[in-house]
């Protein structure tokens, strides 16, 4: 099934100039960019985006982290895109993420360290967790008119 999912290159990814690397990973895997923009997240958007995490011990660190610099918001489209993108992203804690995944290759924070210093894990990227989240998050970050349908030239091969 063709799905759409939301990805954010988080402030650490933007500041480390990993945006191009992250986008290449998805493009090379056959995913299609259908929306993209740069946003400096405010408190209202942070709370809406991370509404499921409000009240958890790491929420204030997470809120501070996601508002610490601009992010690149991207909507990707592809075959079972939600699950496939999560697979390319890797486990939440980079120290546990498999090499070859974005988090496994480019970050090394652990839960223990983040919790000790009272900060969020800096793990480069966000990706919607499931179909319900993807729907909510795409609507939160993009107007319908900012999402574009077009054909990749290799679509007949990769889809
Ligand atoms: P996900 O980004 O892999 O979907 P979630 O559990 O949805 O992971 O958590 C959202 C974000 O909150 C994570 O990407 C990470 O930046 C941060 N985070 C999650 N759990 C912890 C924690 O236990 N300590 C510090 N930061 C955390
Ligand atoms: Mg999540």
Residue 127 neighbours by CB under 8 Å, 6+ apart: 5, 6, 7, 8, 85, 86, 89
Architecture per CATH, 2-147: 2-Layer Sandwich (3.30)
For residue 158, is pLDDT > 90?
no
Provide the residue ranges of all domains of the chain, joining segments of one domain with +: 2-147
- Which residue from 121, 125, 130 has its CB within 8 A of the most atoms of ligand 1, so it is best to mutate? 121
Query: Strand pairing partners for 32?
Result: 77
Q: Give 75-127 pLDDT, tens digit per residue.
A: 999 999 999 999 999 999 999 999 999 999 999 988 988 988 889 999 999 99
- Distance (Å, whole) CA 2 – CA 155: 12
Q: Output the CA 130–ligand 2 centroid distance in Å.
A: 9
Q: How far is the CA of 5 from the centre of ligand 2 (A)?
A: 12
Kindly write down the DSSP assignment for every residue of 48-113, as one continuous string: HHTGGGTTSTTHHHHHHHHTSS-EEEEEEEEETHHHHHHHHH--SSGGGSPBTBHHHHH----HHH
Residue-wise pLDDT for 40-81, tens only, equals: 999 999 999 999 999 999 999 999 999 999 999 999 999 999
- Residue whose pair of structure tokens reads 């990993």 in the numeric block: 18
**Catalytic-residue membership of 126:** yes
Rounded to the nearest whole angstrom, what is the distance from the C-alpha of residue 155 to the centroid of ligand 1?
A: 33
Closest residue to atom 23 of ligand 1, CA basis:
111
Q: Is the CB of 129 under 6 A from ligand 1?
A: yes
What span, in angstroms and rounded, lies between the C-alpha atoms of 146 and 69? Answer: 22
Based on its alpha-carbon atoms, the radius of gyration of the chain, rounded to whole angstroms, reads: 15
């Amino acid at each position: 099934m063709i799905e759409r999912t939301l990805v954010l290159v988080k402030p650490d990814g933007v500041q480390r100039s990993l945006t191009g690397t992250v986008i290449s990973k998805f493009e090379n895997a056959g995913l299609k960019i259908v929306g993209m923009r740069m946003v400096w997240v405010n408190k209202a958007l942070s709370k809406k985006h991370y509404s499921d995490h409000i009240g958890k011990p790491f929420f204030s660190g997470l809120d501070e982290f996601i508002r610490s610099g601009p992010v690149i918001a991207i909507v990707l489209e592809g075959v079972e895109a939600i699950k496939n993108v999560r697979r390319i992203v890797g486990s939440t804690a980079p120290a546990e993420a498999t090499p070859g995944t974005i988090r496994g290759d480019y970050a090394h924070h652990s839960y223990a360290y983040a919790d000790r210093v009272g900060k969020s894990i800096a793990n480069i990227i966000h990706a919607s967790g499931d179909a319900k989240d993807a729907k909510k998050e795409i609507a939160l970050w993009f107007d319908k008119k900012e999402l574009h349908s077009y054909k990749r030239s290799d679509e007949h091969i990769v889809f």
